[in-house]
A and B are shown apart, each in its own frame.
Chain A
Amino acid sequence: MTTDRLGWSGRFVALSGIVWREAIRFAQQRERFLSALVRPLVWLFIFAAGFRSVLGLSITPPYETYVLYEVYVTPGLCAMIQLFNGMQSSLSMVYDRETGAMRTLLVSPYPRWFVLSSKLIAGVAVSILQVYAFLLIAWFWDIRPPPIGYLALLPALILSGMMLGAIGLLLSSTIRQLENFAGVMNFVIFPMFFASSALYPLWRIQESSELLYDICWFNPFTYAVELIRFALYGQVNWMAAGVVIAITAAFLGAAIYAYDPSKGLVGRKRG
């Protein structure tokens, strides 16, 4: 009986259970949901409104006409929600490790890669809900992509969420204490967000600094933003999709390695 449950049907049950637990925790943390919404809305309502008058945007794909700055910045804000959510999941992994709850997960009979991937999927599911809630509010602010964009956005959000979650997962394997998480804010979230195409088009950045342009070009977050931007208009940015998939594979692979007791970092450290 016990061994029967180790097959794929059992794995599906395990995946559902991990997503269910994440959903319950998310539902209990109303402030988390609110802050996840308020953060991009502040950028949209205040920052973007102020920037509209000083930043001119030329017509660049996927846009076929001039767009308001609020429209331009919306995909970046969707990615920002996922970025924060990915780091929040990382924080929750570190917290679970400190409190011991992580052990429940790690002593599951399913392979470590499967358990960690399930955890990642659970986090992505939550982030997608947050993004759609944000887009619903943005719709009333006249940010109205074509209806097909809302549908095409889903796979893009899954991919970008997986990439950002995988980065968070790898970070969680290297952070030993919750207190060190402030460093993640300063050295990961802010640089990733600002040094990307989320707030300004890359050609604009190139005009002011070639070095900053190069940094933005190498920043994986830029590709998550562009993947979302094109998807919102029913298009696929294949280069962005390829980069996001490759980065996801690399970071998820590294995180699984780090959590593997026979190879990685976590099992070799005491505590």
Chain B
Amino acid sequence: MSGTADHDALRVESVSHAFGAVQALKNTSLTVKRGDFVALLGVNGAGKSTLFSLITRLYDNVSGSIEVCGHDVRREPGPALARMGVVFQSRSLDISLTIRQNLRYHAALHGIGRREAIERGDRVLERVGLLDKGESKVATLSGGQVRRAEIARALMHDPTLLLLDEATVGLDVRSRTDVVDTVRALVESGEVGVLWATHLFDEVRTTDPVILLHHGEVLAQGTAGEIAGDTTLSDRFLAMTGIDEREIAA
């Protein structure tokens, strides 16, 4: 099977995953269309990072199927990974290199040569508002700048699917807003589908497609407004899971 523009950016069908006796994901299905900002909501341990690891082939999915732009990640990992940009929960830039050097390294890992990497680097840095920081060592950047640099890196190879795992954790309010706005601006271009994993309900808009994940199970899918109904999304989530509000903040 070869991917075309008609395929969804991401399609996950009936995926389960266990670590020994611990079932981390149970029969999970979801879709991310191009131009969608899909929020994957769940508290710590819900299975969000496990799902990301399966999509990115860090773990092997032994049940169900995962397709990126029509490419099955198990059977065609190369084309699938080539269309995917990832911002992991833990920082993954090389702190001993400058932002531009990190971008060039990432570009090389996607087969993009030096000259093209420089051009693309300028473009993506401008997009995330870091053009003037290109020569700065990552170690000297603030948390928000690092996150935006990671987003720039994820965009270097023009992905169709952008995965962001708790991209705003540990950031102050202003940096959080900057990061969310940057990603939403990308989505508005219509070329990229975003799967945004978070436990912070205030990052989700009423019209965003939302997947509520808890203990590895999808509890609800729909727009945030549909799921919330006549209450707030977080109240609905608390009612569905029976967990304490403080666990969300943790």
Contacts and interface: CB of A to CB of B under 8 A. Distances in A.
Interface of A: 1-3, 5-7, 9-11, 13-14, 16-18, 20-21, 24-25, 28, 99-101, 103-111, 115, 261-263, 267-270
Given A5-B110, A14-B109, A263-B60, 16 more contacts: A5-B82, A6-B82, A13-B112, A17-B107, A18-B109, A25-B94, A101-B92, A103-B56, A104-B105, A104-B109, A105-B109, A107-B57, A107-B84, A109-B79, A262-B74, A267-B58
A100 B88 contact: yes
> At the interface, is chain A mostly helix, strand, loop or mixed?
helix
A13 B108 CA distance: 6
A261 B60 contact: yes
Interface residues of B, number: 37
Nearest to A98: B90
8 contacts: A2-B82, A13-B108, A14-B108, A20-B105, A100-B90, A100-B92, A109-B77, A267-B60
Given A24-B101, A106-B58, A5 B19 contact: no
A110 B58 contact: no
Given A99-B92, A100-B88, A267-B58, A107 B81 contact: yes
Given A17-B105, A267-B58, A111 B96 contact: no
A173 B79 CA distance: 26
B58 A24 contact: no
Interface of B: 19, 56-60, 74, 77-84, 86, 88, 90-94, 96-97, 101, 104-113, 157-158
Contacts of B78: 6, 109-111
Contacts of B94: 21, 25, 101, 104
Those 5 A-B pairs whose CB atoms lie nearest each other, nearest first: A17-B108, A10-B111, A5-B111, A100-B90, A109-B82
Contacts of B106: 104
Contacts of A21: 94, 97, 101, 105
B178 to A, nearest CB: 21
Pick from B91, B94, B101, B109 the residue with the most CB of A within 10 Å. B109
A31 to B, nearest CB: 13
A263 B74 CA distance: 12
Nearest to A263: B60
A108 B81 contact: yes
A261 B59 contact: yes
Contacts of B88: 100, 103
A7 B111 CA distance: 9
A103 B92 contact: yes
B92 A3 contact: no
Nearest to B57: A261
A107 B105 CA distance: 13
B67 to A, nearest CB: 15
B90 to A, nearest CB: 4
Contact of B111 (A6, A106, A111, A262): A6
